[in-house]
Chain A
């Protein structure tokens, strides 16, 4: 199976790339943020807005808005639930589980047998571990007999956390 992320990606033109670099850590908090970026880059506001709309259409920008900090909002427990499910059922299960409001990331990933039998990942957020475990039981009920084994991996320590960045 070919990982999705080595499929040909949208290549950014130079203007798009400049817009990404100028906005990847956030939009300026001024009444006309797109004009401010345009001024910074020496292009027109229309160019910035067209570039950003195109990047939304091509999926380069997932969305624009506020990114809440789970932890500050009381979602202090997060568990990476990992599942061994039959490959031929995974897409159907992925749609169902990915739609659950307590799941923030949901992926099909490769197994590494014999050490790692799990091919389906769902990151679950709750206020505490008991809530995370309740949500995981809910996922288990939805997966039903296709669940050939699962685990919850909790993070015990953040070793590094920096945002993804592309260079200027």
Chain B
């Protein structure tokens, strides 16, 4: 990454414009050509510095239901349970963590009923209880990385 890449990553984490020629507008601010900006973003996506470029959606505001769910799974059964959980399309991310509650995943559904049904299905299919932790309040979600 050179200075220009850093300037693009640092200055474009939030307000890409909605207008007829948004890349031209941002490029103008950075003092470069429109096509240069497009090519740079393309390259940063390709080499993995950026995971995405575009709108970041707020799942619950779209009417969906999202929660963080934890489970306590014995080591001997961990891989088997992980397979069952990962196979569910409602599960977006799943992490092993170093705690007694050792499996943590995000459960996303379009409705509250589907959410309850998915939790019941998990308990039934795995035989272990779920610790459902929907957010009560969100204080901040975002990234403010300076590179």
Cβ of A116: which chain B residues have Cβ within 8 Å of it? 70, 101, 131
Q: Please, how many angstroms separate the alpha-carbon atoms of A27 and B72 in the complex?
A: 39
Among A4, A11, A70, A105, contact of B60 (Cβ-Cβ < 8 Å): A4
Q: Which residues of B contact A157 (CB under 8 A)?
A: 95-96
Residues from chain A with a CB closer than 8 A to the CB of B12 are 65-66
Is A156 in the interface zone, CB < 8 Å from B? Answer: yes
Q: Which residues of B sit under 8 angstroms from A66, Cβ to Cβ? A: 8-9, 12-13, 41, 44, 50, 52-53
Contact A65 B14 (CB under 8 A): yes
Q: Is chain B's binding surface mostly helix, strand, loop or mixed? A: mixed
Q: How far is the CB of B16 from chain A (nearest CB, A)?
A: 4
Interface size class of A (residues with CB under 8 A): 35 or more
Bound: A90/B46 CA distance, A: 41
Q: In the bound complex, how far is the Cα of B85 from the Cα of A65, in angstroms?
A: 31
Specify which chain B residues have a CB less than 8 angstroms from the CB of A1 in the assembled complex.
Answer: 136
Answer whether residue A143 sits at the interface, using C-beta atoms and an 8 A cutoff: no
Instruction: Determine how close the nearest CB of chain A comes to the CB of B88; give it in whole angstroms.
Output: 9
Q: In the complex, what's the smallest C-beta–C-beta distance from A40 to chain B, in angstroms?
A: 14
Are A31 and B135 touching (Cβ within 8 A)?
Answer: no
Q: Contact between B15 and A109 (Cβ–Cβ < 8 Å)? A: no
Q: Roughly how many angstroms separate A9 CA and B110 CA in the complex, as a whole number? A: 11
Interface string of A61-76 (1 = CB under 8 A from B): 1111111111011010
C-alpha gap A150/B14 in the complex (Å): 32
- What are 30 contact pairs spanning A and B, CB under 8 A? A2-B136, A4-B137, A5-B60, A6-B134, A9-B61, A24-B57, A30-B38, A33-B23, A34-B19, A49-B18, A49-B19, A59-B61, A61-B55, A62-B57, A63-B56, A65-B56, A66-B41, A67-B53, A68-B147, A69-B49, A69-B51, A94-B137, A103-B140, A112-B133, A115-B72, A159-B86, A162-B93, A164-B59, A164-B92, A164-B106
Where the two chains meet, the residues of A that have a C-beta atom closer than 8 Å to any C-beta of B are 1-6, 9-12, 20, 23-27, 29-35, 45, 49, 52-53, 55-56, 58-70, 72-73, 75, 80, 90-91, 94-95, 97-99, 101, 103-110, 112, 115-116, 121, 125, 151, 153-164, 166
